[in-house]
């Protein structure tokens, strides 16, 4: 009986703590590129702010479409006429009316602001997606470099122990020990720098992910790049780049402002009517109807029109400048990308396997006394530089690709990246 009670208690205790264990496992969940972009978009307050701005402009447009409220004037008093006093009262109404076309232009002006804000929203979406991917790769590469240096420290520490364990500690062995100790000291400094760099890269990544613990990133390395049609890509850059779209939106807004300025010389008007009664003297009632408007005698708004014309010319020049700038930026970005494809092929991922084989060979031959320490360290250092060069080729290729996608305002990021040859074989341990 007592044994059964213990079993029931343990089962109940285990059920209570199952959710806690599941939640702990969730914190270390695996994130692929799609998950990274989705989480980054979800956690961005910038996108929420831009959405609120668009909602504000929506209500502003509705307000601009409203008619003006009428004015009501009520008058009451006493009047004396023909030695007779009597009451006088009157009610006057005035309905302001926009000059035809002015209300529609004000709504169009809000529409122009909305289009500019929509371009900013598109740019923000792409910037967040591309930046989250960029920092994910930076962290992956930084972690890989750090782990590689950690392995180097282990290897050199074993060599250090091997030298110290020699039965006869000759001057040559003592010199070799000094070299190894100095090398290990420098590597520890290098490891600390890489660890700091990896931590900073993770903080940059976590700006978008907002994770409580470091996630397991399941993202691929690249074997080869994407082959683009340069002319088609350049055409897309000039037509879809956010900076150019924003400049075109500013030009459209300037045109609307010029049209509004030209309407200023044609004033709004008001329809007025009045009804009243005068009971002094001979009682009489009256009713009148009229039109009220400003006469553009002193100010015909030429300066406002001239200002709007100058502003429109300025926006046109800015659009031309942005188009020239994007064409130059695209050419540079495309050249960078093509060069990184060459480096990606030069420092291909198979070099990582060769590095491991060569290091194992050097370890064995040094312990057998067939190669000298200087030769061993030189080979080890060259292989280390090659390892870093392979990873640098990966990150340079990725960043140059993302830069091209940003310039062309590409929305199908994963689709384009999927056209490159990828592998999950080489992941940091």
Q: Please write the tens of the pLDDT for every residue from 2-38.
A: 444 444 344 433 433 333 333 333 445 789 999 999 9
Q: Looking at the domain assignment, is residue 3 inside a domain?
A: no
- Residue 175 has what pLDDT? 86
As given in the structure block, the two tokens for residue 171 are 């001057």
Q: pLDDT tens digit string along 254-285?
A: 999 999 999 888 888 888 898 888 777 666 78
- SS3 state at 91: strand
Q: What percent of the chain has pLDDT over 70?
A: 91
Q: β-pairing, 71-81 with 84-97?
A: antiparallel
Q: Looking at the domain assignment, is residue 28 inside a domain?
A: no
pLDDT at 146 > cutoff 50: yes
Q: Looking at the domain assignment, is residue 10 inside a domain?
A: no
Q: What average pLDDT does the segment 382-386 reach?
A: 92
List phi, psi (to 5°) of 295: -105, 120
- Residue 7 has what pLDDT? 41
Q: Looking at the domain assignment, is residue 275 inside a domain?
A: no
Report which of residues 96 and 111 the model is more confident about: 111
- Residue 428 has what pLDDT? 66
Are 84 and 281 contacting, i.e. CB atoms less than 8 angstroms apart? yes
- Residue 23 has what pLDDT? 35
For residue 41, what is the domain's CATH number?
A: 1.20.1600.10
Mean of the per-residue pLDDT values for the chain?
86
Count of C-beta atoms within a 10 Å radius of residue 77? 9
Q: β-pairing, 284-293 with 269-278?
A: antiparallel
Report which of residues 299 and 304 the model is more confident about: 304
- Residue 283 has what pLDDT? 67
- Residue 172 has what pLDDT? 80
Q: What percent of the chain has pLDDT over 90?
A: 53
- Residue 16 has what pLDDT? 36
Q: pLDDT tens digit string along 57-73?
A: 999 999 888 888 889 98
pLDDT at 347 > cutoff 60: yes
Are 334 and 227 contacting, i.e. CB atoms less than 8 angstroms apart? no
Report which of residues 321 and 75 the model is more confident about: 321
- Residue 10 has what pLDDT? 41
Residues, the chain = 429
300 CB contacts (<8 Å, ≥6 apart)?
Answer: 265
Q: β-pairing, 221-224 with 269-278?
A: unpaired
Q: pLDDT tens digit string along 175-213?
A: 888 888 999 999 999 999 999 999 999 999 999 999 888
Q: Looking at the domain assignment, is residue 186 inside a domain?
A: yes
pLDDT at 81 > cutoff 70: no
The parent domain of residue 346 ranges over: 33-70+100-267+304-424
403 CB contacts (<8 Å, ≥6 apart)?
Answer: 333, 336, 337
Dist CA 170 CA 174 (whole Å): 6
Report which of residues 413 and 291 the model is more confident about: 413
Report which of residues 169 and 373 the model is more confident about: 373
Q: Looking at the domain assignment, is residue 238 inside a domain?
A: yes
Q: Looking at the domain assignment, is residue 2 inside a domain?
A: no
- Residue 168 has what pLDDT? 66
pLDDT at 422 > cutoff 50: yes
- Beta partners for residue 285, in sequence order: 277
Number of domain units in the chain: 1
Q: pLDDT tens digit string along 215-253?
A: 899 999 999 989 999 999 999 999 999 999 999 999 999
Q: Looking at the domain assignment, is residue 87 inside a domain?
A: no
Dist CA 199 CA 191 (whole Å): 12
How many helical (H) and strand (E) elements, i.e. helices and strands, does the chain have? 11, 8
- Residue 253 has what pLDDT? 94
Torsion angle in degrees (nearest 10) through CA of 5, 7, 9, 12: -140
Count of C-beta atoms within a 10 Å radius of residue 297? 6
Count of C-beta atoms within a 10 Å radius of residue 17? 9
As given in the structure block, the two tokens for residue 224 are 């080869």
Residue with tokens 């060569």: 358
């Amino acid at each position: 009986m007592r044994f059964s009670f213990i079993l029931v208690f343990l089962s109940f205790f285990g059920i209570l703590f199952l959710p806690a264990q599941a939640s702990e496992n969730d914190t270390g969940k695996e994130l692929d590129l799609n998950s990274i972009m989705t989480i980054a978009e979800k956690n961005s307050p910038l996108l929420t702010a831009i959405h609120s701005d668009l909602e504000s402009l929506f209500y502003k447009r509705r307000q601009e479409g409203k008619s003006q409220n009428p004015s009501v004037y009520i008058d009451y008093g006493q009047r004396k006429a023909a030695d007779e006093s009597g009451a006088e009262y009157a009610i006057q109404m005035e309905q302001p009316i926009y000059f035809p076309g002015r209300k529609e232009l004000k709504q169009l002006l809000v529409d122009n602001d909305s289009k500019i804000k929509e371009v900013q929203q598109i740019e923000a979406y792409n910037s967040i997606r591309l930046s989250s991917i960029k920092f994910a790769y930076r962290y992956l590469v930084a972690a890989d470099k750090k782990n590689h240096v950690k392995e180097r420290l282990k290897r050199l520490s074993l060599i250090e122990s091997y030298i110290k364990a020699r039965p006869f500690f000759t001057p040559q062995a003592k010199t070799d020990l000094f070299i190894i100790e100095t090398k290990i000291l420098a590597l520890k400094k290098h490891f600390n720098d890489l660890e700091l760099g990896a931590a900073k890269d993770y903080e940059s990544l976590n700006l978008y992910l907002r994770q409580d613990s470091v996630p397991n990133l399941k993202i691929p390395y690249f074997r080869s790049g994407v082959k683009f049609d340069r002319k088609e890509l350049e055409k897309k850059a000039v037509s879809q780049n956010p900076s150019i779209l924003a400049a075109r939106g500013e030009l459209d807004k300037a045109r609307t402002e010029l049209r509004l300025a030209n309407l200023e010389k044609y004033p709004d008007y008001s329809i007025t009517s009045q009804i009243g009664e005068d009971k002094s003297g001979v009682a009489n009632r009256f009713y009148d109807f009229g039109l009220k408007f400003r006469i553009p005698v002193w100010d015909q708004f030429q300066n406002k029109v001239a200002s709007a014309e100058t502003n429109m010319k300025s926006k046109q020049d800015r659009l031309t400048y942005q188009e020239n700038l994007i064409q130059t930026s695209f050419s540079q970005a495309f050249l960078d990308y093509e060069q990184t494809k060459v480096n990606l092929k030069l420092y291909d991922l198979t070099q990582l396997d060769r590095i491991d084989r060569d290091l194992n060979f050097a370890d064995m031959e040094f312990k057998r006394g067939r190669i000298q320490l200087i030769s061993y360290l030189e080979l080890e250092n060259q292989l280390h530089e090659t390892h870093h060069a392979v990873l640098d080729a990966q990150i340079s290729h990725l960043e140059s690709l993302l830069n091209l996608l940003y310039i062309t305002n590409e929305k199908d990021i994963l689709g384009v990246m999927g056209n490159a040859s990828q592998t999950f074989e080489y992941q940091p341990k």
